């Protein structure tokens, strides 16, 4: 059967299930969970796999899930990913009152579209006309946050990376996948409803512990104030900013996660977290060394000690696959009009889809339907149909283009060269993390 009629069939089923898919989006939106703790969201996803009769693997990278839809033949496997996690945004109207988690990055729309695409592809029965398999993957922890919690998991050997897709690579859950398709949601800007292509920053993460000496705050002369050390460290970082090239898009944005124990004790244990982001890993590494120098200078000034724990960040998203890009672009254009689709350009945020792009062809467009900046309390859905249904249809249509008619397009994408092996990828991060901690 031709691609066009398969797409019609799938889109018809998605349309018939539109309210259900919107309800899934709303349910995830109202139950935000932080990375590597997305238990309720994973359960909702897996309930849908069961309903659809899809075999699946559970608890991948702690909370991830991977369901398989087999085609008539298995010439290649395409992963469709959706992210499970939220950010902390306690003032968001939909924030979880206990954890402060909120879907201010709108990953809930990815889950709605992932399940919506699965409903369409399974219920329409098109898989018997596909020459490849689809791995529907709900992935944890795209937001590389709560660094102390994740560092503890790393020390226990439960995870190796901050990012859930990186973990999926590490544990082998992508070993049988040849290419990946996913999207992020975005605001409707300048009448643009979707954006394709573009690049984003990579980063290295740092967990910083200043150790001083406690003293009674009323007689502090014998103490070493770790908060003063930290503040001078932060000022030192700011003093580097004029040395950064605009073209490198460096972003360093530390937070203090612990500023002391009690107000009447000179702080002896002060903790910071930061990313050092940049357009290339070379630029990241240079800025990371300046950051360490500044952090150490703060400690030196007051005689405190500083421990800087280097943690692998994300690779720059610098390799949107051109074939996948053009397939997605033509599908989203057919749904919303090509006048509403634009090129993305560079964004200084980061995503671990950048890491996936180093080992296989992948595509990561942006689809609208949101209002308010990402990671803020203003972020919400203003166009449910665009956010959930158009997203589900455009993802499903892209999968059909790749796998129908003998999977010719999919095989063309798969045949491309120039990717790291999994081992090279893992070695890369060990090396770069070790280098980041080295003196210049």
Cβ-based nearer residue to Zn ion, 279 or 364: 364
Cβ-based nearer residue to Zn ion, 103 or 414: 103
Do the beta carbons of residue 264 and residue 207 sit within 8 Å?
Answer: no
Site for Zn ion, rule CB under 5 A: 105, 142
State the DSSP H helix or E strand holding residue 325, giving kind and residue range, or none if neither: helix 322-336
Query: Rounded to the nearest whole angstrom, what is the least distance from the CB of residue 387 to Zn ion in the complex?
Result: 14
Query: Rounded to the nearest whole angstrom, what is the least distance from the CB of residue 2 to Zn ion in the complex?
Result: 35
Query: Rounded to the nearest whole angstrom, what is the least distance from the CB of residue 282 to Zn ion in the complex?
Result: 24
- Radius of gyration (C-alpha) of the chain in whole angstroms: 23
- The residue number with the shortest CB distance to Zn ion is 105
Count CB atoms within 10 A of the CB of residue 419.
Answer: 15
Q: Is 309 exposed, middle or buried (0-12, 13-18, 19+ CB in 10 A)?
A: middle
Cβ-based nearer residue to Zn ion, 56 or 275: 275
SS3 318: coil
Q: Across the chain, which distance is largest between two alpha carbons, in Å?
A: 83
Cβ-based nearer residue to Zn ion, 192 or 353: 353
Provide the pairing of β-strand 251-252 with 184-187: unpaired
Query: Rounded to the nearest whole angstrom, what is the least distance from the CB of residue 415 to Zn ion in the complex?
Result: 30
Query: Rounded to the nearest whole angstrom, what is the least distance from the CB of residue 260 to Zn ion in the complex?
Result: 30
Place of tokens 């703060």: 298
Cβ-based nearer residue to Zn ion, 247 or 376: 376
Tokens of 360: 């296989």
Name the DSSP letter for residue 388: I
CA-to-CA distance for 408 and 380, rounded, in angstroms? 39
Its sign, for the CA torsion 70, 76, 77, 78, is negative
Cβ-based nearer residue to Zn ion, 178 or 352: 352
Query: Rounded to the nearest whole angstrom, what is the least distance from the CB of residue 375 to Zn ion in the complex?
Result: 6
């Amino acid at each position: 059967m031709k691609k066009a009629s398969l797409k019609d069939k799938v889109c018809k089923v998605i349309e018939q299930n539109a309210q259900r898919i919107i309800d899934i989006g709303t349910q995830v939106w109202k139950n935000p969970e932080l990375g590597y703790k997305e238990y309720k969201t994973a359960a909702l996803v897996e309930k849908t796999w069961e309903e659809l009769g899809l075999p699946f693997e559970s608890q991948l990278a702690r909370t991830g899930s991977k369901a398989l839809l087999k085609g008539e033949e298995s010439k290649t496997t395409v992963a469709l990913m959706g992210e499970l996690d939220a950010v902390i945004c306690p003032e968001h109207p939909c924030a979880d009152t206990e954890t402060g988690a909120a879907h201010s990055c709108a990953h809930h729309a990815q889950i709605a579209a992932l399940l919506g695409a699965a409903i369409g592809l399974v219920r329409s029965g098109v898989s018997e006309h596909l020459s490849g398999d689809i791995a529907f993957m709900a992935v944890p922890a795209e937001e590389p946050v709560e660094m102390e919690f994740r560092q503890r998991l790393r020390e226990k050997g439960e995870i190796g990376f901050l990012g859930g897709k990186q973990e999926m690579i590490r544990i082998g859950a992508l070993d049988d996948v040849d290419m990946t398709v996913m999207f992020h949601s975005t605001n409707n800007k300048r009448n643009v409803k979707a954006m394709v292509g573009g690049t984003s920053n990579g980063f290295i993460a740092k967990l910083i512990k200043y150790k001083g000496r406690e003293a009674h705050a009323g007689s502090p002369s014998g103490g070493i104030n770790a908060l003063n050390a930290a503040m001078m460290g932060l000022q030192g970082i700011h003093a580097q900013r004029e040395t950064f090239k605009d073209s490198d898009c460096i972003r360093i944005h530390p937070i203090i996660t612990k500023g002391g124990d009690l107000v009447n004790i000179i702080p002896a244990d002060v903790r910071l977290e930061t990313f050092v982001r940049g357009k290339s890993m070379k630029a990241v590494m240079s800025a990371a060394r300046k950051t360490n120098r500044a952090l150490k200078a703060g400690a030196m000034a007051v005689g405190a000690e500083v421990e800087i724990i280097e943690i692998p960040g994300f690779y720059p998203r610098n390799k949107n696959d051109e074939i996948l890009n053009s397939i997605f672009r033509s599908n989203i254009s057919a749904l919303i009009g090509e006048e509403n689709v634009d090129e993305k350009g560079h964004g200084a945020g980061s995503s671990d889809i950048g890491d996936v792009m180093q080992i296989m062809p992948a595509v990561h467009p942006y689809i609208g339907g949101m209002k308010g900046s990402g990671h803020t309390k203003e972020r919400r859905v203003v166009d449910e149909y665009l956010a959930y249904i158009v997203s589900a249809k455009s993802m499903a249509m892209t999968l059909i283009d790749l796998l129908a008619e003998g999977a010719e397009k999919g095989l063309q994408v798969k045949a491309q060269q120039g990717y790291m092996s999994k081992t090279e990828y893992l070695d890369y991060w060990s090396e770069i993390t070790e280098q980041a901690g080295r003196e210049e």
